[in-house]
Amino acid sequence: MVNSTYAKNGIIEDQMAVTVTRKGQITLPKSVRDSLNIGPGSMVDFERAPDGRIVLVKVDKRPTPSHFARFRGHAGKGLSTNEIMALTRGEI
């Protein structure tokens, strides 16, 4: 169910009712997924707005790669034992 309401700031907001499953899950309406460019595997966050509303936000940040990530898939001449030990200690 979609109801349009006129907000104080002059922006028309759509209110969409969804059903919560027994597991606490919901299905995001297609219009919401499309407007936030949310697809399979996308991460979202819920933030509390100053007026108390809960806002759905797409998370664009990718996890910070570990200091080992740059060596993943490397098959050439590798590091020396001392360099590997320094890497595991976080010295590099």
Instruction: List 5's β-bridge partners, or say none.
Output: 13
Q: Both tokens of residue 86?
A: 């320094």
From residue 33, alpha-carbon distances to 10, 43, 44 in Å are: 23, 12, 11
Grade residue 1 by pLDDT with cuts at 50, 70 and 90: very low
pLDDT tens-digit profile of 48-89? 999 999 998 898 866 666 777 766 766 567 788 888 888 888
